[in-house]
C-alpha cells in the first residue's frame, strides 16, 4: 500500500512534534508543512529538505492526502473547514474549536462531505489511560465514585488561551473517555493573576448523571509539575501519574467495605488496606500512537477514536465552564 502523504499546518512549539513524529511513521510521509512564520518555514526546510514547505494552505492541500492542524486554537475550526472542503481528512489539535457553534460547524461539514475528522485528544492514546479504561469497563474498580486530576506547572503562559482551554481539553477528554459519559453540570472558578482576563489557574468540577464527580485543577502558575489522575471506585482506587518515568499506574486494592453482619454501628464500615499493584504499561509514545491511528483513519477508513462528536462534547464542557467562570463559579447545566 502506498504511504499516506501527510501535511502539518502550524509547526510551532507543539506542531514541531507532529512534524518530527510524522517523519518517523512507517506508513506515511511528511509531504508538506505550512506555517505563517518565515522563520519557522526556514527551520523546517533546513531539517526536512525533501518536504515541501509553504506559507499557503491551498498549496499544502493540493499536495497531501490528509492534514494535521497544529496552528493556534483560534484557527482550528476555519482550517478544519478548509481541509474538509478540499476533501482531506484532518486531525485537529486541542482545543477542537473555541465555541460549540464552531465545533458543530466542523462536525456538520465532516458528516455532509463524508470527510473524517479526528479530535486531537492525545491522552486517549496514552497506554496507561487505555489500561485504566479497561479496568473501569471490566468493573475491576467497582462502581466509580469520583475522580480528580492535577495538571499544573510553572510553564508557558499563553495570551490567547486561558489555563482552562489550554490544559482542560486533556483532562476533560480523558474523564469523558474513561467514564464513557458526559457531564450534566459543570462549575469552574479561576483567577487571572498575570494578565487581565486570562485565567492562570482554574478549578473545574463536572457532575455526571451516574453520580460521579470529577474535579480538575489546572494552572501554569504552580511550583510543581504534576500530571496526575486519581480514580476512586468502590472496590479499588487507581492513580495515573504521568510524571513517573515507568510506573505510571498504581492500582490500590483499598476501600471501605460494609460487612454483611456487624455488631455496632461503628463496625458497619470496615477499611480495607490491600496490596498495591503496578501493571506493566507498554512504553509507547502517545503522539506516535495518535498519528499511527490517524493514518489508518485517513487511509483505511478506520473510525477515529476521538471523533467530531468527542470534539464537540469537550468544547461543550469548556464553553459551559467558561460561563461558570464568568459567573464566579455558579454551576451551569448542559
Ligand atoms: N496535544 C498536546 O499535548 C498539545 C500540547 C501543546 C499545544 N497543543 C496545541 O497545539 C496548538 C499549537 O500550539 P503551539 O504551542 O505549537 O503554538 P505556537 O504558537 O508555538 O505555534 C503555532 C504555529 O502556527 C503558525 N500559524 C499561525 N496561524 C497559522 C495559519 N493560519 N496557518 C499556518 N500556520 C499558522 C505560527 O506561525 C506558529 O508557528 C494549540 O492549539 C495548542 O493548544 C497541544
Residue-wise DSSP of 112-174? HHT--EEEE-GGGG-HHHHHHHHHHHTTTT-SEEEEEEEEEEE----SSS-HHHHHHHHHHHH
Q: Is the CB of 123 under 6 A from ligand 1?
A: no
Q: What CATH number does the domain containing 82 carry?
A: 3.40.50.720
CA-to-CA distance for 144 and 324, rounded, in angstroms? Answer: 25
Which ligand 1 atom is at minimum distance from the Cα of 166?
A: 43
CA-to-CA distance for 201 and 177, rounded, in angstroms? Answer: 24
Return the pLDDT at 267: 66
Say whether both 130 and 179 belong to one domain.
Answer: yes
Q: Is the CB of 255 under 6 A from ligand 1?
A: no
Return the pLDDT at 73: 95
Determine the distance separating the centroid of ligand 1 and the alpha carbon of 225, expressed in angstroms: 22
283-314 residues labelled b (16+ CB within 10 A) or e (exposed): eeebbbbbbbbbbebbbeeeebbbbbebbbbb
In angstroms, how far is the first alpha carbon of the chain from the final one?
45
* 177-197 residue pLDDT tens: 999 999 999 999 999 999 999
Which ligand 1 atom is at minimum distance from the Cα of 9?
A: 33
Distances (CA, A) of 42 to 7, 49, 56, 59: 16, 10, 14, 17
Geometric angle at alpha carbon 43, from 2 and 29, rounded to 5°:
5
In a domain, 33, yes or no: yes
Q: Is the CB of 35 under 6 A from ligand 1?
A: yes
Determine the distance separating the centroid of ligand 1 and the alpha carbon of 115, expressed in angstroms: 23
Q: Is the CB of 37 under 6 A from ligand 1?
A: yes
Q: The cell 474498580 sits on which residue?
A: 141
Say whether both 92 and 144 belong to one domain.
Answer: no
- The model's confidence at residue 239, banded by pLDDT at 50, 70 and 90, is very high
Determine the distance separating the centroid of ligand 1 and the alpha carbon of 93, expressed in angstroms: 8
Say whether both 163 and 293 belong to one domain.
Answer: no
Ligand 1, atom 25, residue with closest C-alpha: 10
* 116-129 residue pLDDT tens: 999 999 999 999 99
Say whether both 183 and 326 belong to one domain.
Answer: yes
Q: What CATH number does the domain containing 149 carry?
A: 3.30.360.10
Return the pLDDT at 269: 84
pLDDT over 70 at 265, yes or no: no
Q: Is the CB of 93 under 6 A from ligand 1?
A: yes
In a domain, 312, yes or no: no
Determine the distance separating the centroid of ligand 1 and the alpha carbon of 72, expressed in angstroms: 4
Which ligand 1 atom is at minimum distance from the Cα of 122?
A: 1
* 124-179 residue pLDDT tens: 999 999 999 999 999 999 999 999 999 999 988 888 889 999 999 999 999 999 99
* Count of structural domains within the chain: 2
Torsion-angle region of 10 (φ positive above 0: left; ψ -120 to 50: alpha; else: beta) = left
Domain membership of residue 279 as a residue range: 124-284+317-333
Amino acid at each position: 500500500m502506498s504511504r499516506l502523504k501527510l501535511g502539518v499546518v502550524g509547526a510551532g512549539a507543539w506542531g514541531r512534534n507532529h512534524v518530527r513524529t510524522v517523519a518517523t511513521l512507517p506508513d506515511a510521509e511528511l509531504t508538506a508543512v505550512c506555517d505563517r512564520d518565515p522563520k519557522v518555514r526556514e527551520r523546517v526546510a533546513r531539517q526536512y529538505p525533501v518536504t515541501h514547505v509553504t506559507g499557503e494552505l491551498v498549496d499544502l492541500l493540493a499536495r497531501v492526502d490528509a492534514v494535521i492542524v497544529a496552528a493556534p486554537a483560534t484557527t482550528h475550526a476555519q482550517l478544519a473547514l478548509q481541509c474538509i472542503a478540499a476533501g482531506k481528512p484532518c486531525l485537529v489539535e486541542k482545543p477542537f474549536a473555541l465555541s460549540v457553534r464552531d465545533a458543530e460547524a466542523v462536525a456538520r461539514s465532516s458528516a455532509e462531505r463524508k470527510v473524517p475528522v479526528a479530535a486531537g485528544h492525545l491522552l486517549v492514546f496514552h497506554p496507561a489511560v487505555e489500561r485504566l479504561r479497561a479496568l473501569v469497563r471490566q468493573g475491576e474498580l467497582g462502581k466509580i465514585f469520583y475522580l480528580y486530576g492535577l495538571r499544573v506547572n510553572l510553564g508557558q503562559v499563553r495570551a490567547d488561551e486561558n489555563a482552562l482551554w489550554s490544559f482542560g481539553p486533556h483532562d476533560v477528554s480523558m474523564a469523558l473517555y474513561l467514564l464513557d459519559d458526559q457531564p450534566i453540570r459543570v462549575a469552574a472558578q479561576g483567577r487571572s493573576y498575570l494578565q487581565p482576563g486570562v485565567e492562570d489557574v482554574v478549578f473545574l468540577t463536572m457532575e455526571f448523571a451516574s453520580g460521579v464527580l470529577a474535579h480538575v485543577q489546572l494552572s501554569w502558575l504552580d511550583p510543581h509539575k504534576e500530571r496526575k489522575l486519581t480514580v476512586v471506585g468502590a472496590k479499588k482506587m487507581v492513580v495515573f501519574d504521568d510524571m513517573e518515568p515507568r510506573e505510571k499506574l498504581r492500582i490500590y486494592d483499598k476501600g471501605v467495605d460494609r460487612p454483611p453482619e456487624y455488631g455496632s454501628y461503628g463496625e458497619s464500615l470496615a477499611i480495607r488496606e490491600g496490596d498495591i499493584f503496578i501493571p506493566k504499561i507498554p512504553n509507547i509514545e502517545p503522539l506516535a500512537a495518535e498519528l499511527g491511528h490517524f493514518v489508518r483513519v485517513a487511509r483505511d477508513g478506520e473510525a477515529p477514536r476521538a471523533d467530531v462528536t468527542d470534539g464537540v462534547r469537550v468544547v461543550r464542557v469548556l464553553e459551559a465552564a467558561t460561563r461558570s467562570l464568568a459567573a464566579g463559579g455558579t454551576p451551569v447545566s448542559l
